[in-house]
Amino acid sequence: MLVTLFSGVVWLSRDALSANHIRFLLKSPGDSQFFAALKAVTPSSPFSKFTVEGALIECSLKETTGSSPGVVAS
């Protein structure tokens, strides 16, 4: 459920909200295990930065055409 919700937030930030930075608060720090794989840097990753600190996920999306810098989705 959490992964699906986070995927929806990323999709909205690229489509309707045009946000480059996302802060996502988990219910418990233990839930961060489901997002551990996203910290790996790969060419196909949509993230330029991805960190998990306790129950807080913060990530920056790679620039795409038509994005508006400075808009933040929380």
Tokens of 9: 């937030």
Report the amino acid identity of residue 48.
S
> What pLDDT does 74 receive?
45
Q: Which H helix or E strand runs over 24?
A: strand 21-25
Task: Write out the chain's pLDDT in tens, 74 residues.
Answer: 777 877 777 777 777 777 888 898 888 888 888 888 888 888 888 889 999 998 999 999 888 655 444 444 44
> What pLDDT does 66 receive?
52
Strand pairing class (72-73; 21-25):
parallel
Cβ atoms of residues 34 and 5 within 8 Å: no
